[in-house]
Structure formats: C-alpha cells, structure tokens
Structure 1
Amino acid sequence: MTETAGYRRRVVDLELRERLTSIGAVLIEGPKACGKTATATQVAATMHRLDVDQAARNTATYAPDVLLDSPGPVLLDEWQRAPALWDHVRRAVDDRSPEKGLFIMTGSATPRDDVNRHSGAGRIAVVQMRPMSLWESGHSSGTASLASLMDGGRVAGRDSGPSLPDIIDRICIGGWPALLDATATEAGRWLRDYLNQIVLVDIQELGTRRRDPQNIRRLLTSLARNVATSARVTALAKDVGGADGPVARATVDGYLDSLHRLRLIENSSAWGPHMRSATPLQASPTRYFIDPSLAVAALGQGPQQLLRDLNATGYLFENLAVRDMRVYAQRLGGEVHHWRDQNQNEVDIVVTLPDGRWGAFEVKMNPEDADKAAASLLSFSEKVDQAKAGAPVALGVITTTGFAYRRDDGVSVLPIGAMGP
C-alpha cells in the first residue's frame, strides 16, 4: 500500500483509508477521468479492470469468487460493467465478517436501482470523488483552511499568486488529472471529445432506449447557459426542443437522470433552517456541473471569450468555488447547499456539518464587491432563528485574488487560490 511515484495526493485519500478500517467494502463514485482508479490503486493489493478486461468480466459473471478471493483489498474497477458483482461483494463481506477493508469498487456510472439488489447498507460505504480542487492541483496555497474556518478560527495568508486570467484558465481546464499540464486550448479539445463520448456512447449504454444525441447536446448547452441558477425543467425543455417547441418534461427528466448517474452534474439543494421570516423559501436546486470546464466546453468557449464577458464568467467562477467547497466540506463530513427566498435574496454556499455547525459564503469575482457581499451575509444570518439553528461559525466572501483575512465585522475574505481543506 505504498503511494505510486508521481501520484498527486487527493483530499479523499484519508477518507478512503479511514473507511477501509471500519467497513468491509468501499465504493468510490465519480465522473470518468477524475482519478478514481489512481486513488484506489494507492491502497489496493489486487486490481481487476472490468472496463477493459473481458476475461475479468466473464469471470465476474460465471465464477465471481475467483475475483473476490484475490489478495485484498481487491479493486474492482468500473464494477458496473458486471452489475451482479454488487451482491457477490455484499455476500463476501457478510461471510468474512468481521474483516474490514476487503474490497474497493470504483464506478463512473450508477446502474438503475434493481429491486433484487441489496442496498449494501452496513457492508459497502460510498465515497464521492470529484475532479481536483485548486489545492489538489497545486493552484491554491491552502492557507485558508475550511476546517479552520468551521472551527471558528481566524484565517490569514496570501493566495498562490494567480491573476484573473489564470483563474479563468483554471475554469476552462478544470480539475482533470489528465489536464494538469495542458493549455486551455489543449484542454478544450480534450473536453469536447469527452462530452462527445458521453453523448454518443456513455448515455446510450445506460438504458435500452436510445437517447437523441442532438437533444442531449442542446441540454448540455442549456445547463451551461444556466449554470449557478435555479433554471426550471420547463425552461430546459424549451431549449432542448428549440424551434420545434419544448420537448416533454419526462424526456428532459430522463436526460438529467442520465447526466446525474454519470456524475456530470451535481446540484445544490436548498438549505432549510429555522427562519424568523414568514417568507417562503425557494426550494428549487441550483444547477452546477461537477466541474466548470464542462460548461465551458458545452458552450464552445475559451479564455478569451470569458475575459470579454466577466458577468457571465461570474457564474462559471461560482461553479468553480462550489466544486472546491464540496471537496473540502466532504473531508469534514459536511454538505454544500444554497439558500434563496422568493424575493431572490440568496446565499451561494451554505456548508453544514453533522454536528449542526454551519457557515455561509458568497462568491464574487471582483474583490471590490466584498463589502456588499459581507453586508448580505450579515443580513442573512440575522434572519436565521439562531436559537434553533445556532449561530454561523463562519461567514465568508470567496473571490478571485488577494489576501485571506477576517474583517472587523467578522466576515472573512477568501481568495479561491488560498482555500484548502
């Protein structure tokens, strides 16, 4: 279980090791090419690559015990290519109880629920993996730790020195391990090929009914245009249908389900604290891609276009910030939500922890907007019934460049190039 030379450490590494000491099997889920296999091989003793090894798939079907009896932890890479393995792994964990850390499963697509398949509760833990955060890819100093913020600590430090064009490059390139040293132009070609593969192959493999590739492409473009908003399915249906009129809601729901199962989109659900105000909350999710580079590729854009339209780029920057906060919050067992009322008062990111602590963060590309964002956060925190939800342990404005520091009003200014777990 020695780390491979050249392996770039991930925030999820420690979580994976911890889970393997407490349960029989761990499933790592995430989009293709986010680094699941590389991370799993750091701790696996045996690997079976079911996506490329036909012999392994045949063995999984006719003699699964041959695979499962290998020295452990046994990595079953892209396990969904042999779905029957799920129940075999569950049974093997039961049979070998109380042994821990027997199997690691990775998957870039979630099979449809099967009533005959056991949930795996108590036997198989699920770990979510995303493309690299800026801290993981080496583009953030990490001096502003989310863990410290959520402990009520005072963060201070410089970012890693990126300019606004550098941040825009990271939005376009994304956190894909294969693109760490790529230019934005090279990344754009790779990402367009990636989405083309998703549209023509991966989505088609998820079910027996063929999905219209042009409709899926239009949906991806619509989602990219509406990133970081709560666009309704009816609006997406109009974009997908185009001149022929909106497609059926059920059709769009099916496409969205496919993209979710491939881990390409990850919405933020609405946070529902106890509120003094009687104003009803808007419960629609905020729509994000798992990585902002997918939105850029779906739009067919690049750094120059983003620099010329910083208003639109602000939504993509928010997607970048949400991606990184999800990576950092997961290490704490936390979740990322949004808050928005029907008067369109909103908070971009609300981080909640299992012990009830919570923090709220606004995302602003322009550091000069920190005053307005801080006032909005303070106003929001006063609306929360703190006798029931507790006081926020952190309030912060995530921006592009500069120094991390806490203002006199208690709100932290957090350049994204300084943030870390």
Structure 2
Amino acid sequence: MKEYKARVVDDILQDKLEAKGAVVIEGPKWCGKTTTAMQVAKSILRMDEPSKRDANIQMSEITPERLLEGETPRLIDEWQIAPKLWDAARYEVDTRGEEGQFILTGSAVPIEAREIMHSGTGRFTWLTMRPMSLYESEESTGTVSLENLFENPDEIIGTNELDIDKLAFVICRGGWPHAVGMKRKAALSQAYDYYDAVVKSDINRADNVSKNPERVKRLMRSFARNQGMQIANTLLRDDIVANDTETLNEYTIASYIDALKKIFVVEDMPAWNPNLRSKTAIRTSDTRYYVDPSIAAAALGIGPDDLLNDLNTMGLLFETLCVRDLRVYAEYIGGEVLHYRDKSGLECDTVIHLRNGRYGLAEIKLGGEKLINEGAENLKALAGKIDTKKMPAPSFMAVVVGTGELAYRRKDGIFVVPIGCLKQ
C-alpha cells in the first residue's frame, strides 16, 4: 500500500469534525476522499462494496440506523447510493448530541434528492476535495505561502524546481493520488482511464439518463478547448454541432454539463463584483474549468510532447492547473477563487477572496517577460478602478507563472510566483 501523502484538507477536516456532528466530503472520483477520511475514521462502511452493496441498500430502506452503528467518527463511503442515510445520520447526530460522529463521502450529487427530508443545517458541514495540488504531490517546493502573501505582502523568497518539461508532464498526469509516483507511461494513462470512465458510465450515473458517448466526447473536447473562458452553452453547441448528425440544442448541452458538474468533473468559477470608481459593467458569467487539467488533456487526446509543441494550448491547460492549486490553497485559509472581467475587456484570471473581506489579485501566465509584463499591467489597471473608499485595496498582486527559478517582487510591487513555489 502506498504511503499516505498529507493533504491540505487534513487540518480542515479535523476542525470541521470538532465543530459539527457530521462532515460531508464531496469531490471527483479518485481524488482521495476515502483515503483522507480513513486517516481519522474509527470505523468504516463502504456502501459500494460489491459483495455487500445490495444488502446495504436494503438495510438502508428498512433500518438505516443499523448501518450507522460503530466507533466514531464513522465513515460512510459513497453514501449517496442510499440517500435515506442522510436523514438517519441527521437524526443520530441530534440524538447523540455530540460532534464528530460521521464522515460522509461521495463522488456524485445524489439523484434521489427528494428522499432527503432535512437539509442538515446545523448538523452537517461540507468539505470539497479536489485532485492533488503540486505541493501535496511534493512537486512544489512550498517556499511561498499564499497565506503569507496576505499577511506579509512586502517579503517573498521562493525557489522553483519545475522546468517546462516537468510542467508539461504534471499537467497531463494531473493530481490523481494513484498516479503520483508511478512511472511515466502508467502515470499518464490514469487521466485517460478517468476520462473513459466518465464518457462510458459515470456521466450516466449522475442523473440515470443514458447519453451518447460520442456526443459526450465531443462536448468534453469542446469544453477543453474553452478552458478559462466565459462561453455560453449555445457556443459550445455550435462548436460541436458540425460533427453531430442528430438535432442538438442548448438544453441538451446544459443537461450534459449539469451531469458533469454533479460528478465534480467540471467546476466553473464565479465572477467577482468589486466596488468600482466608475459605473463599468461587469461580466457576471461563470468561467469554464475542468477540476483538473489532465481531464482536458485526455479529452483533447494530447500528451506532454504535444503541449511542448503547442505553447498556446499548454498555456490554456496551465491556467487550469493553477486554478486547481489556488482553490486548494485558498480553501485552507478560508477563501474562494473568483474571476473578473468587464465590458471593456479588462480581466483578471483569479481573485482570491477571503471571508474577512481581504483579497489578492493574480494573473496566470506560462512565462516570459512579455507575458509577465502584460499580466502586471492588467493587475494595475484593475487595481486603479477599485474604489478604495468603499472596499480595501488588494492585499497583494501577483503573476503566477510556470517557468523561472525564483519568486521575486518587481519594482512596481507585483510578485512573480512560479506555481512550483506555492503552497497554502
């Protein structure tokens, strides 16, 4: 068995168990939810264990409380297979009156949501897991802390050990725990296996509606080409309709994307709405992202060598990698990752916004002085629009890059931080 690599959410999970009766861990398949939960669980129920699945489902219909018996915290893995366990767990939390009773893990939003009678408010808390960040897979040196950028924005010291070849590899391999540490060929195959599982079965399990696998492939390929963009479903439809012999409308596209969201394959990024000095119209559409860049690479049928021969595509997928990592790190410090774009075309790839109102602005560029300067100018232009009488100025501004040996602070105060330096 592989040695467990510490995850950023380990501390978050412990804190949540001390605060609520049950913790719900959600996220894509293979991202490590069960393994992470097992580090603190004292007893385990695997709902999808083949030899016991039918019996477990039957028991959940008759006496679900029997399935919840065991030393606590009790892990209920893939709980959504039997949605009635939700209300049973909520009742047990109320009855026992103690925190840290259950950990519920799942890789899909339950289909039969109508069977859940109570929202769980006050008893349950949620935790989102994603594939491994570079710091978790031990490919970032962790010499620059995102939290420290908020606390000590005048200082930065960081070293990066990722070169462009290794960067192309980790983009295509992804952050799947099982793939980390494997030999190159085997590691790269994991994302393709994940993609195949989504196309052939997982997307259908999201809503129990059978979908055309070729149509799913074309949609996922189009989605991959439009990473980091605010593209409407109608435009995704137009992108794939040339190769589709059947009628295809935006509602079909919407249902397919909704299914991908339910199994946590895609995670769009909401827009940020700051207070501005002028009445600039802000674009409020979500930005499209896969939860891991390797899914986009698999959907496009490309590998590390292809990325090195097409730096535009590599830049696109590199942005998805950075968004994944920033989301992991931001969650640890009580923040979320948003984007900004206004009608003039001014945009900022990521805004790390904390619950206390502080925020940092970060542009993502693969590397090179020209692109770094371009990102820095965007950041300064956006900062200049913010009404600091109504909200604070940004705690920091940074250009997150893929290449470069060092993190440093420019003369204009903007940080340049290789993703291979960063941690929470």
TM-score range, shorter chain: over 0.9
**1:377-417 per-position Cα deviation (integer Å, ceiling 9, x unaligned):** 11110101111121100100000132112222111110100
Distance 1:117 1:83 in 2: 10
Distance 1:345 1:48 in 2: 50
Structure 2: any 5+ residue segments left out of the alignment? none
Distance 1:279 1:18 in 2: 41
Structure 1: any 5+ residue segments left out of the alignment? none
Aligned to 1:134: 134
Matched-pair contact (CA < 8 Å) for 1:185–1:302: no
Distance 1:207 1:378 in 2: 45
Matched-pair contact (CA < 8 Å) for 2:78–2:107: yes
Q: Compared with structure 1, are the counterparts of its residues 143 and 246 closer, same or farther at alpha carbon in structure 2 (3 Å cutoff)? A: farther
Aligned to 1:372: 374
Matched-pair contact (CA < 8 Å) for 2:84–2:116: no
Aligned to 1:397: 399
**Displacement after TM superposition at 1:345 (Å):** 1.2
**1:209-241 per-position Cα deviation (integer Å, ceiling 9, x unaligned):** 322222111110000011111121111112343
Aligned to 1:354: 355
Aligned to 1:413: 416
Q: Which amino acid aligns with 1:101?
A: G
Q: Which amino acid aligns with 1:123?
A: R
Aligned to 1:254: 255
Matched-pair contact (CA < 8 Å) for 1:238–1:246: no
Bigger shift: residues 175-184 or 295-304:
175-184
Distance 1:111 1:229 in 2: 29
Aligned to 1:310: 311
Q: Give runs of aligned pairs for residues 300-339 of structure 1, distance below 5 A.
A: 300-339=301-340
Q: In the alignment, does 2:27 pair up with 1:30?
A: yes
Matched-pair contact (CA < 8 Å) for 1:27–1:125: yes
Distance 2:246 2:362 in 1: 39
Aligned to 1:69: 69
**Displacement after TM superposition at 1:188 (Å):** 3.6
Q: Which amino acid aligns with 1:32?
A: K
**Displacement after TM superposition at 1:376 (Å):** 1.7
Matched-pair contact (CA < 8 Å) for 1:219–1:236: yes
Matched-pair contact (CA < 8 Å) for 1:25–1:104: yes
**Displacement after TM superposition at 1:245 (Å):** 7.5
Matched-pair contact (CA < 8 Å) for 1:404–1:415: yes
Distance 2:81 2:56 in 1: 10
**Displacement after TM superposition at 1:285 (Å):** 1.2
**1:23-57 per-position Cα deviation (integer Å, ceiling 9, x unaligned):** 00000001000000110000000001111232333
Q: Compared with structure 1, are the counterparts of its residues 5 and 297 closer, same or farther at alpha carbon in structure 2 (3 Å cutoff)? A: closer
Identity %: 41
Aligned to 1:101: 100
Q: Which amino acid aligns with 2:418?
A: P
Secondary structure, aligned partner of 1:301: coil
Matched-pair contact (CA < 8 Å) for 2:400–2:419: yes
Picking from 38, 41, 46, the partner of 1:44 is 41
Secondary structure, aligned partner of 2:175: coil
Q: Compared with structure 1, are the counterparts of its residues 224 and 6 closer, same or farther at alpha carbon in structure 2 (3 Å cutoff)? A: same
Matched-pair contact (CA < 8 Å) for 1:239–1:246: no
Aligned to 1:206: 206
Matched-pair contact (CA < 8 Å) for 2:409–2:415: yes
Q: Compared with structure 1, are the counterparts of its residues 184 and 347 closer, same or farther at alpha carbon in structure 2 (3 Å cutoff)? A: farther
Q: In the alignment, does 2:378 pair up with 1:381?
A: no
Q: In the alignment, does 2:9 pair up with 1:12?
A: yes
**Displacement after TM superposition at 1:183 (Å):** 4.4
Aligned to 2:163: 163
Secondary structure, aligned partner of 1:134: coil
Aligned to 2:110: 111
Q: Which amino acid aligns with 1:22?
A: A
Q: Which amino acid aligns with 1:147?
A: E
Distance 2:414 2:158 in 1: 17
Bigger shift: residues 191-200 or 72-81:
191-200
**Displacement after TM superposition at 1:371 (Å):** 2.4
**1:88-115 per-position Cα deviation (integer Å, ceiling 9, x unaligned):** 1111111111x00000000000114427
Count of paired positions: 417
Q: Compared with structure 1, are the counterparts of its residues 246 and 356 closer, same or farther at alpha carbon in structure 2 (3 Å cutoff)? A: farther
TM-score by length of 2: 0.95
Distance 2:127 2:349 in 1: 24
Distance 1:367 1:374 in 2: 12
Matched-pair contact (CA < 8 Å) for 1:174–1:292: yes
Structural RMSD (CA): 1.6
Matched-pair contact (CA < 8 Å) for 2:84–2:115: no
Q: Compared with structure 1, are the counterparts of its residues 336 and 317 closer, same or farther at alpha carbon in structure 2 (3 Å cutoff)? A: same
Q: Which amino acid aligns with 1:307?
A: L
Secondary structure, aligned partner of 1:137: coil
TM-score by length of 1: 0.95
Secondary structure, aligned partner of 1:48: strand
**Displacement after TM superposition at 1:155 (Å):** 4.3
